Amino acid sequence: MRTGFQNMHSALRSLGIVVAIVVFGCGETKTPTQESIAKPPSKASIKRAYTMKCSLCHGSNGKLMASNAPDLSQSKLDLDSRIALITYGKGMMPPQRGVLDAATIRGIAEYIETFREP
Ligand code: HEC
């Protein structure tokens, strides 16, 4: 009788450990980075980030050319080069790494393509 109770008790305890591992395992896979990949920034938030971080020098249509900034409507850079330049900065242009998340930087790089004129 007593042994039976003890067996059940230890069985419940190991079940508890298994449950803890499963719960902890799930918690671990759900990092903020993966959440932002699952939920991309909206067009509105990308435009807002451009206005706050970029329009000071480039203007709302890319043509302002303040602080010697080049006219973005004439830019010939490909998408990857633009993402790298926005991430790491160049000359007078401030880096956005650690300021904007990667998905927003990519979104802005795509957004400024719409400024491009043939
Ligand atoms: C302080 C002014 C300033 C701000 C703010 C700024 N830029 Fe720039 N940007 C520049 C300057 C200056 C250059 C030229 C860098 C060089 O070649 O030395 C440049 C270059 C670029 C280029 C390369 C264009 C080309 O074809 O050579 C892109 C694209 C660009 N900026 C996008 C952005 C975006 C997107 C943001 C906002 C995240 C931003 N910039 C914020 C000043 C700025």
Residues with CB under 6 A from ligand 1: 53-54, 56-58, 67-70, 72, 75, 77, 82, 85-86, 90-94, 96, 108, 112
Which homologous superfamily is 35-115 in? Answer: Cytochrome c-like domain (1.10.760.10)
Q: How confident is the model at residue 1 (pLDDT cuts 50, 70, 90)?
A: low
Q: How confident is the model at residue 32 (pLDDT cuts 50, 70, 90)?
A: low
Q: Are 59 and 66 in contact (CB under 8 A)?
A: yes
Q: Is the pLDDT of residue 2 over 90?
A: no
Q: Which residue has the higher pLDDT, 4 or 57?
A: 57
